Amino acid sequence: MHWSAGIVGTGSCLTPAGRANRDKTQGKGIRGTDIMDSYNSFHVLQQQIREAAAILNLDSATVEFLSWPQREYRFTLPVRMDDGTFRIFHGYRVQHSFARGPAKGGIRFHPDETADTIRALAGWMTWKTAIVDLPLGGGKGGVICDPRQMSERELEAVSRAYVRAVARVIGLEQDVPAPDVYTNPQTMAWMMDEYETIRGRHQPGAFTDKPLQVGGTEGRRDATGRGGVISVREACRVRGIDPRGTFAIQGFGNAGQRVALLHKQILGGRLVAACDSRGGIVSEGGIDPKELVTYKLRTGSVVGFPGATPVDRDDILEAEVDVLYPAALENAINGDNVARVQARIICELANGPTTPEADVILFEKGIHVIPDLVASAGGVTVSYFEMVQDSSRFFWTEEEVHRRLDQRISTAYHSVQKAVREKHVHPRLAAMVVGVARVAQACKLRGWVS
């Protein structure tokens, strides 16, 4: 591996721009880069749908129907703050598809949230649930706010206000939310409680990824990372790569930390590089994942980890490793840096970390991408398991959850690889072909399209 051990970046490793764009992005926040702004996520989604539809020979009415959310809501949330004043927050809930079942998707609390981002993520949830063959559609929600500047009481007030705004259009048979950026199981507990208060009955399955004590499931905390590692295991078998090789993680939040532990535990291998919002580290001799997670939780960053060399956070994407896990936000691998990407397998734990142009280049370079629609589907899969268990009031062991998750992710991975071979397309387009075909078939059987 070759590393430029220059100044450690002070911005977020979630920013997708290369080093040349760093000065432009300071002060803009984690979504404020020139490259990220040049890709409207919803437009990217619609283009992906058109490309998949062309391969499937879908008619124009079906394409138009799949290209837009079936329902979307926008609302204002008045919330009393700790100082006694009121603030008005803006919230969204987008329900992209009900063709295969109730909508399913997270709720994000983020200062730079947009309607198009929510639309795109709702659509991607539709394809993700279809690829893993869950009887669900796709949804996504968000509140424009900065949780880092709010007290716990204020966050609870925003959470409950959000539920009051959407209570009539969500629920176990309509739309089941989960956590996403800057929300967590405690957020879901508040939301579930508010929803049950409004409805006047016990409905824990209306929200997933709750604490175990109020209807959560075993195996949910590490589901996204575990699903990613399962897909990497299958990819290594297909590509003839030793899973005990080297790996790097871009983004060391919850998903990054868990995949570091699980990759080591399940596959073996050597973690050689990681980054977070303050910078990156590298150690060619290897980094102990448990020690790094402990250090991160204690200090708030991977920077300064004993025995590791500091590097620029963007260099992590260019690591010469067997497996790279992009585990931050979208568009991290793009036209500016894709030529320098050297990993043999890229496992996308983040939503849309690779731009459309980079997808094609990686495919031509022979780098095997496991698209987020498969790689990060472990979370929604175990959320579905939670819905099933809440409905039956019978809960599975952690081993049973892991077994069922392994089966779903493995099957999904190989269904996408089959489409890669048969359609001669890159993995993301192959995944879209699988997902769009299943949803389009459901729409046709319902009589929504011809």
Active site residues: 140
Please name every residue paired with 78 in a beta bridge, in sequence order, or none if there are none. Answer: 88
Are 178 and 107 in contact by the 8 Å Cβ rule? The answer is yes
Q: How far apart are CA 280 and CA 396, in angstroms?
A: 39
Q: How far apart are CA 225 and CA 267, in angstroms?
A: 13
Please name every residue paired with 73 in a beta bridge, in sequence order, or none if there are none. Answer: 93
Comparing C-alpha atoms, which of 200, 216, 198, 205 is closest to residue 175? 205
Q: How far apart are CA 312 and CA 305, in angstroms?
A: 14
Please name every residue paired with 106 in a beta bridge, in sequence order, or none if there are none. Answer: 178
Residue at token pair 């764009």: 21
Dihedral sign from CA coordinates of 382, 383, 389, 391 = negative
Continuous H helices in 95-175: 115-131, 152-166
Q: How far apart are CA 317 and CA 273, in angstroms?
A: 10
Q: How far apart are CA 424 and CA 399, in angstroms?
A: 37
Q: How far apart are CA 336 and CA 140, in angstroms?
A: 29
Identify the H or E element spanning 336.
none
Give the count of beta carbons closer than 10 Å to the beta carbon of residue 47: 13
Q: How far apart are CA 388 and CA 256, in angstroms?
A: 27
Q: How far apart are CA 372 and CA 226, in angstroms?
A: 13
Structure tokens at 384: 């579905």
Q: How far apart are CA 348 and CA 329, in angstroms?
A: 10
Are 19 and 314 in contact by the 8 Å Cβ rule? The answer is yes
Q: How far apart are CA 57 and CA 51, in angstroms?
A: 10
Counting every residue written for the chain, the total comes to 450
Q: How far apart are CA 224 and CA 346, in angstroms?
A: 15
Q: How far apart are CA 138 and CA 241, in angstroms?
A: 34
